[in-house]
Amino acid sequence: MEHQLASRESRPHVLAVPFPAQGHVMPLMKLCQKIANRGIKVTFVNAEHIHAKVIAAMSDEDKKQQRIELTSIPDGLQTEEDRKKGLVESLRRTYPRNLTRLIEKINCENSDEKISCVIADTPVIGWIHDVSQKMGAELVAFQFGAAADIALILQIPKLIQDGSLDTNGFVMKNDFISLSNEIPEWGGNELPWSIPSDLKDQKIVFECCQNTQQAVHQHAKWLLCNTFYELESSACNLIPNFCPVGPLHCSNSKSPTSGGSILVEDTTCLSWLDKQKIGSVIYVSFGSLAIHSQDQLNEIALALELSNRPFLWVIRSNLANPNGFLERVAERGKIVEWAPQEHVLSHSSIGCFVSHCGWNSTMEGLSMGVPFLCWPYFLDQFHNQNYICDTWKNGLRLNADENGLRSRHEIKTKIEMLFADYSIKANALKLKEMAHRSVSESGSSLQNFETFIDHLKK
């Protein structure tokens, strides 16, 4: 027998469920911080191995001031198992059962604050939508990436039906897909599920996207997204029940909490940045998942040396030292294993961002007015690059040579071009202004968020 809907007289209680990865946990955590700041109880559910990392990365002060209840459930894998290979299938198999048990426990212990709403990250919503229905909680989807990508995912059945895609997600017609003239096209290897280096994994991700499409279309009452209407209006207009509420980190700038990082941040780079000239530093970071060959890392290192500019590079130091590189650049270079990226990008010394173009990094760099050098790795990052270079014009591409490498000369040349191109910097500053306006009083994202909060409290 299905549980009765939670009483509207009780305090609303939101349960948030991200996909267990850095780029998914952080934006949903920021959304939940905003919700909790409005007096709504929030429980945030990570997979156990991610939960442990989030807690370890938090400072003591963060832990004291945390307004969100942090908890965890098993992901179905043993500690020693390879999560790069078996995670998605294990989550599909075990998350519904484990989440149901958690909600039952929470509701039993909080009779006046039962779970009334489940906010599910889009990659997991296809596995857990039945749980929210069974437990009598409203289902809300959260899109961690661009509005354009979820707009495309929601069109998958139509694209298969008209022959644009085959049943495995490969492009069949014209080698590209277009949703409108205002949205950049997706090439065959630029789709939200594209993993050109591993077609088996690509098929798994595409199946996940199909599950997302069905769950969002049939069950989600709202679709929240870390974007803003003025940035992606054409994509936003294609999506029913769509509610852009970003950039989430802009509106959380005064929040004391850590933002859900699963890696310990090296804050020594901030005092180093204080000593650099305004707009002079090259910031290099490829997120938590991108992998480069040693040859490619050597090319990056030598390009930074040739640039003769100060740089901050996020990488393990033992991977970035070709023939004494670290000693030669010690006076103008800083290497850290993980950086407090929002603080870095907002620093006045940053002049450009060499990025993998993950959506979190894209939104952070854009809202800080930092020009990009784009180096996508997989999935949605290719389309984000197209946005940056072709639509918003706040960055440049880094092109690979015939061996698939971005050479030191290509990197150095593009760095020089970016620093010399005042139109790119001007576009970057315009986008920064747009982003901050969207979360300010009467801004589109703030108004959307207020409407959502009012709905939760009814």
From first to last of its 458 residues, the chain has per-residue pLDDT tens of: 444 444 446 789 999 999 999 899 999 999 999 999 999 999 999 999 999 999 988 887 777 778 899 999 999 888 777 777 788 889 999 999 999 999 999 999 988 899 999 999 999 999 999 999 999 999 999 999 999 999 999 999 999 999 999 999 999 877 889 999 999 999 988 999 988 878 888 899 999 999 999 999 999 999 999 999 999 999 999 999 999 999 999 864 444 345 678 888 999 999 999 999 999 999 999 987 888 899 999 999 999 999 999 999 999 767 777 788 889 998 999 999 999 999 999 999 999 999 999 999 999 999 999 999 999 998 999 999 999 999 999 999 999 999 999 999 999 999 999 999 999 999 999 999 999 999 999 999 999 999 999 999 98
Q: Which residues pair with 335 in a beta bridge?
A: 313
Question: Measured between alpha carbons, how far is 197 from 446 in angstroms, rounded to an integer?
Answer: 40
pLDDT of amino acid 357: 98
pLDDT of amino acid 7: 46
pLDDT of amino acid 2: 47
Token readout for 104 is 């039952």
Token readout for 442 is 């009467």
Token readout for 400 is 């690979």
pLDDT of amino acid 248: 96
The domain defined by 268-420 folds into Rossmann fold (3.40.50)
pLDDT of amino acid 261: 81
Task: Identify the H or E element spanning 92.
Answer: helix 83-109
pLDDT of amino acid 318: 73
Q: Are 73 and 47 in contact (CB under 8 A)?
A: yes
Q: Are 313 and 335 in contact (CB under 8 A)?
A: yes
pLDDT of amino acid 458: 86
What's the Rg (C-alpha) of the chain? 22
pLDDT of amino acid 428: 99
**What DSSP character marks residue 345?**
H
Q: Which residues pair with 70 in a beta bridge?
A: 44
Neighbouring CB atoms inside 10 A of 426's CB total: 14
| Tokens 């679709």, located at residue | 223
Question: Measured between alpha carbons, how far is 283 from 296 in angstroms, rounded to an integer?
Answer: 17
Among 5, 10, 38, which Cα is nearest to 139's? 5
pLDDT of amino acid 316: 79
Give the CATH architecture of domain 13-259+440-457. Answer: 3-Layer(aba) Sandwich (3.40)
3-state helix, strand, coil in the chain (%, to 5): 45, 15, 40
**Location of each CATH 3.40.50.2000 domain in the chain:** 13-259+440-457, 268-420
User: pTM (2 decimals)?
Assistant: 0.93
Token readout for 98 is 């484990």
Among 175, 204, 206, which Cα is nearest to 193's? 206
Question: Measured between alpha carbons, how far is 328 from 205 in angstroms, rounded to an integer?
Answer: 43
pLDDT of amino acid 257: 43
